[in-house]
């Protein structure tokens, strides 16, 4: 890590870790999550990737990933950092109008405003090419848009000010549908959201959205309606990098608890960590997390340097590696503690479901393998 991160990066890790330590043990509680969000915003950590002219730190996804990883390692990750400001802030800073930047970026930077991201649909799943949410110009010549569609598994809609909706518009030249992005404020007439009952124990709720010809002003469109996939993937790369950081933090948190337990738990003459059957799996989990971190750092650097193609490949690999390493770390941590790993006292059992989510969302491991096999290895598609 010494050669890959600057002194500023290491200082940021230390400072965020200290913030996390003050909020340690508050994972999964909405009130504590809100308090942490407010303090992180006040200290400038939520806005490290937002341009300085809009109140941010002027850094990139590399810095924001550090914030999320260190909070996760302290046991108090902020899921909404994956979408606000990372996805929505990145897209608006890069493609938004001057008015959109002035309206949203300062609030995203200090945490006073939250914008979620709506891409997943009931019939499309992880296949963004099958999105059916469509937008068309209002027939009255006003320039407004009419948006119709459904979205599922959208995080934090109840606490957000708006959702960045991925839809499709018709290309006037070809007649084909192409991706587009719209800012839909939560109080827009006809914009409905309903909570989805989840087994996952998390502070942030999941929602299903529905809207039928809701009217949006012309200024709700982000960027060029003809830009197509460029703008969409400019947001998806940060999403995958931040998801990797989320998984890394969770894995480090679980592993730290297991290591501490293995050092102190004595059943025979020496602590259980002296036995290779306990020590080796924990060492392996640490190695896998460190390898995943390297790929995450590579992806963040490529993204921040403007290499969208290189970042796309690395971000998918980072998300895959971190999710797999996290799942194994959590599983081994629970197993190390035995029965204690399932008690509320140690707080590891609740990570079992959360670690599984990291392998599914925001893109499944199978879809990442599809991407790598097709885009990287050049293998033919079966679909």
Q: Give the domain CATH number at 39.
A: 1.10.540.10
- What SS3 state is found at 349? coil
Task: Round to whole Å and give the CA distance between 72 and 82.
Answer: 12
Enumerate the β-bridge partners of residue 149. 211
From 164, 188, 220, the end of a domain falls on: 220
Phi, psi angles (nearest 5°) of residue 150: -140, 145
Q: Identify whether residues 180 and 69 lie together within a single domain.
A: no
Q: Which ranges of 78-199 would DSSP assign to H, the alpha helix?
A: 86-95, 98-110
357 domain residue, yes or no: yes
pLDDT tier, 330 (very low <50, low <70, confident <90, very high otherwise): very high
Burial state string for 240-261 with b = 16 or more CB within 10 A and e = fewer than 16: bbbbbbbbbbbbbbbbbbbbeb
CATH classification at residue 132? 2.40.110.10
Q: Give me the pLDDT at residue 198, please.
A: 92
Share of the chain above pLDDT 90, in %: 85
Kindly state whether residue 1 falls inside one of the protein's structural domains: no
Residue 276 belongs to a domain: yes
Q: State the pLDDT at residue 129.
A: 72
Q: What is the pLDDT of residues 87-107, one digit of tens each?
A: 999 999 999 999 999 999 999
Please indicate whether residue 229 or residue 214 has the higher confidence score (pLDDT): 214
**Same-domain check for residues 247 and 352:** yes
Nearest residue to 118 via CA among 76, 165, 169: 165
> Do 128 and 182 fall within a single domain?
yes
Residues 94 and 135 in one domain: no
* pLDDT, tens digit, 9 for 90 and up, residues 209-224: 999 999 999 999 998 8
Domain boundary among 69, 92, 110: 110
The domain boundary residue, chosen from 110, 126, 146: 110
Residue 98 is part of which domain span?
7-110
What total number of domains does the chain contain?
A: 3
Which phi and psi (to 5°) does residue 317 adopt?
-65, -40
CATH of the domain at 250: 1.20.140.10
pLDDT (0 to 100) of residue 1: 41
User: Do residues 51 and 85 both lie within one domain?
Assistant: yes
Q: Please, what is the end-to-end C-alpha distance for the chain in angstroms?
A: 40
Q: Do 303 and 349 fall into the same domain?
A: yes
338 domain-assigned: yes
């Amino acid at each position: 890590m010494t050669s890959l991160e600057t002194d500023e990066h290491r200082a940021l890790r230390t400072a965020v870790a200290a913030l996390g330590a003050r909020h340690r043990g508050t994972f999964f509680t909405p009130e504590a999550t809100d308090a942490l969000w407010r303090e992180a915003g006040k200290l400038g950590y939520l806005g490290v990737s937002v341009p300085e002219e809009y109140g941010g730190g002027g850094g990139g996804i590399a810095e924001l990933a550090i914030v999320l990883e260190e909070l996760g390692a302290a046991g108090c990750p902020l899921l909404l950092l994956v979408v606000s400001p990372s996805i929505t802030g990145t897209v608006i800073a890069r493609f938004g109008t001057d008015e959109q930047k002035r309206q949203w970026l300062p609030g995203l930077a200090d945490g006073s405003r939250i914008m979620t991201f709506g891409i997943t649909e009931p019939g499309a799943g992880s296949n963004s090419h099958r999105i059916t949410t469509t937008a068309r110009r209002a027939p009255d010549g006003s320039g407004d848009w009419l948006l119709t569609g459904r979205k599922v598994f959208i995080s934090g809609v109840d606490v957000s000010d708006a959702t960045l909706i991925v839809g499709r518009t018709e290309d006037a030249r070809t007649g084909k549908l192409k991706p587009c992005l719209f800012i839909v404020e939560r109080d827009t007439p006809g914009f409905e959201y309903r909570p989805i009952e989840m087994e996952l124990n998390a502070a942030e709720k999941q929602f299903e959205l529905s809207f039928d010809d809701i009217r949006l002003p012309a200024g709700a469109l982000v960027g060029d309606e003809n830009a197509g996939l460029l703008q969409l993937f400019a947001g998806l790369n940060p999403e995958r990098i931040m998801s990797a950081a989320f998984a890394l933090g969770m894995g480090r948190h679980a592993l730290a608890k297991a290591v501490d337990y293995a050092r102190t738990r004595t059943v025979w003459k020496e602590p259980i960590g002296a036995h290779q059957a306990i020590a080796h799996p924990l060492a392996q989990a640490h190695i896998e997390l460190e390898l995943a971190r390297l790929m995450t750092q590579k992806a963040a650097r490529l993204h921040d340097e403007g290499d969208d193609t290189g970042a796309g490949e690395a971000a998918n690999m980072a998300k895959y590696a971190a999710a797999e390493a996290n799942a194994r770390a959590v599983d081994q941590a629970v197993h190390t503690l035995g029965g204690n790993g399932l008690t509320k006292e140690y707080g590891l059992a609740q990570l079992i479901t959360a670690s599984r989510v990291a392998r599914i969302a925001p893109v499944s491991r199978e879809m990442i393998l599809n991407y790598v096999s097709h885009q990287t290895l050049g293998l033919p598609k079966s679909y």
